[in-house]
């Protein structure tokens, strides 16, 4: 698997250069989720595909920017699902963005995820790899240098609530407010990579992207975004669940772009999510 991480590092350096130097306008078309693609989304996707397809152990690549997975080597062991440039609409306002990778065996179901990684393109470029533990690296000169192992505390102070507030279910609104009433601080940039990275590095808190009246299944995609971060949070000692209280990594997929409501956090906050959602209408309906 080491060669996959090396290819991820190479891609990250190239994408970083592209973010700095390339045009960040929109392409003509839309991606398969009906979202407008930036030229940088497509460029990042091409960079990653080129690097990962050189590796013999890679069987299938699935990108958030493509409608269908592509087969690289029939005899390969790993399936890789990736979001080449998450939060790319934040580039024109110069906020942090990221790339997310989930490495799977056999299928793209949550239980088959064996490792994950993400890159943060911020004032600095960082790489986080989650295997049996979670390791943080920083790009210095041309190398990713190990910084520290990341671990979540029992409880944090940050609250990152996603989704359109006017469409939140009442029990979700109560949940979010309960954290603020307790002194939690709002931290939401609109990029899940920097938002989840901040909570992880600061030691705890809660990131939620719920199902809402307009989007009952949420926005974030299982294979490219949710499963990889669920693995990061669990390996750091935290929890990652859906709106029924199930582990995200116990979920399967019916299609490669399938979304799910999701909650990532430390022990204290996830316990609170379960309490409020078990009272809420969404939970009772199941
Ligand atoms: P993208 O993959 O098209 O960039 O969308 C994913 C992003 C996440 O990074 C972020 O948490 C979410 O969309 C923000 O959505 P919203 O603007 O609805 O808060
Ligand atoms: Mg994304």
Four-CA torsion 202, 156, 12, 107, nearest 10 degrees: 150
Query: Which amino acid residue places its CA nearest to atom 11 of ligand 1?
Result: 192
Q: Which ligand number lies closest to the CA of residue 33? A: 1
- pLDDT given for residue 33 in this prediction: 66
Query: Which amino acid residue places its CA nearest to atom 4 of ligand 1?
Result: 87
Q: Is the same domain home to 124 and 215?
A: no
Supply the range of the domain harboring residue 106: 2-149
What is the full DSSP assignment across 235-268?
A: HTT-EEE-TTS-BGGG---SSTT-B--EEEE-HH
Q: Is the same domain home to 53 and 140?
A: yes
- State whether the beta carbon of 98 lies less than 6 angstroms from ligand 1: no
Tell me, in angstroms, the distance from the centre of ligand 1 to residue 192's CA.
6
Closest ligand 1 atom, residue 89 Cα: 4
Q: Is the same domain home to 140 and 211?
A: no
- State whether the beta carbon of 83 lies less than 6 angstroms from ligand 1: yes
Q: Is the same domain home to 128 and 19?
A: yes
- Pocket perturbation via mutation, ligand 1, pick of 162, 221, 226 by most ligand atoms within 8 A of CB: 162
Q: Which of 149, 181, 200 is the last residue of a domain?
A: 149
CATH number, domain of 94, equals: 3.30.540.10
Q: Is the same domain home to 180 and 272?
A: yes
Q: Is the same domain home to 101 and 25?
A: yes
- pLDDT given for residue 249 in this prediction: 98
Q: Is the same domain home to 99 and 193?
A: no
Q: Is the same domain home to 11 and 140?
A: yes
Tell me, in angstroms, the distance from the centre of ligand 2 to residue 225's CA.
6
**pLDDT > 60? residue 216:** yes
Closest ligand 1 atom, residue 195 Cα: 11
Report which of residues 28 and 223 the model is more confident about. Answer: 223
- Pocket perturbation via mutation, ligand 1, pick of 38, 220, 221 by most ligand atoms within 8 A of CB: 220
- pLDDT given for residue 25 in this prediction: 79
Q: Which of 87, 122, 149 is the last residue of a domain?
A: 149
Q: Which ligand number lies closest to the CA of residue 207? A: 1
- pLDDT given for residue 283 in this prediction: 52
Band of residue 150 on the pLDDT scale cut at 50, 70, 90: very high
Closest ligand 1 atom, residue 164 Cα: 18
Mean pLDDT of 171-196: 97
- State whether the beta carbon of 88 lies less than 6 angstroms from ligand 1: yes
Query: Which amino acid residue places its CA nearest to atom 5 of ligand 1?
Result: 87
Q: Which ligand number lies closest to the CA of residue 163? A: 1
**pLDDT > 50? residue 286:** no
* pLDDT tens track for 20-72: 998 777 777 676 666 778 889 999 999 999 999 999 999 999 999 999 999 99
Q: Which of 117, 149, 181 is the last residue of a domain?
A: 149
Q: Is the same domain home to 114 and 80?
A: yes
Q: Which ligand number lies closest to the CA of residue 90? A: 1
What is the number of domains present in the chain? 2
Q: Is the same domain home to 86 and 167?
A: no
* pLDDT tens track for 231-269: 999 999 999 999 999 999 999 999 999 999 999 999 999
- State whether the beta carbon of 219 lies less than 6 angstroms from ligand 1: yes
Query: Which amino acid residue places its CA nearest to atom 2 of ligand 1?
Result: 86
- pLDDT given for residue 279 in this prediction: 85
Query: Which amino acid residue places its CA nearest to atom 7 of ligand 1?
Result: 87
Q: Is the same domain home to 169 and 104?
A: no
* pLDDT tens track for 76-133: 999 999 999 999 989 999 999 999 999 999 999 999 999 999 999 999 999 999 999 9
CATH number, domain of 222, equals: 3.40.190.80
Q: Is the same domain home to 103 and 205?
A: no
């Amino acid at each position: 698997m080491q060669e996959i991480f090396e290819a991820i590092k190479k891609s990250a350096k190239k994408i970083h250069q592209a973010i700095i130097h390339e045009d960040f306008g929109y392409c003509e078309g839309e991606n398969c989720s009906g979202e407008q693609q930036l030229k940088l989304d497509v460029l990042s996707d091409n960079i990653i595909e080129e690097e990962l397809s050189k590796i013999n152990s890679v069987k299938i690549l699935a990108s958030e920017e493509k409608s269908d997975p592509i087969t690289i080597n029939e005899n390969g062991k790993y399936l890789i699902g990736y979001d080449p440039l998450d939060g790319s609409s934040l580039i024109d306002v110069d906020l942090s963005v990221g790339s997310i990778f989930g490495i799977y065996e056999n299928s793209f179901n949550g239980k088959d995820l064996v490792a994950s990684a993400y890159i943060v393109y911020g004032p600095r470029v960082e790489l986080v790899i989650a295997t049996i533990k979670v390791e943080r690296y920083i790009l210095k000169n041309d190398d990713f240098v190990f910084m520290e192992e990341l671990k979540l505390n029992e409880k944090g102070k940050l609250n990152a609530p996603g989704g359109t507030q006017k469409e939140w279910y009442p029990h979700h609104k109560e949940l979010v407010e309960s954290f603020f009433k307790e002194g939690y601080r709002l931290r939401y940039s609109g990029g899940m990579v920097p938002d989840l990275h901040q909570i992880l590095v600061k030691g705890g808190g809660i990131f939620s992207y719920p199902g809402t009246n307009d989007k009952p299944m949420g926005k974030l995609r299982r294979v490219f975004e949710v499963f990889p971060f669920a693995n990061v949070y669990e390996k750091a000692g935290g929890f990652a669940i859906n709106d029924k209280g199930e582990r995200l990594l116990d979920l399967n997929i019916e299609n490669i772009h399938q979304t799910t409501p999701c909650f990532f956090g430390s022990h204290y906050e996830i316990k609170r999510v379960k309490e409020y959602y078990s009272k809420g209408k969404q939970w009772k309906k199941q």
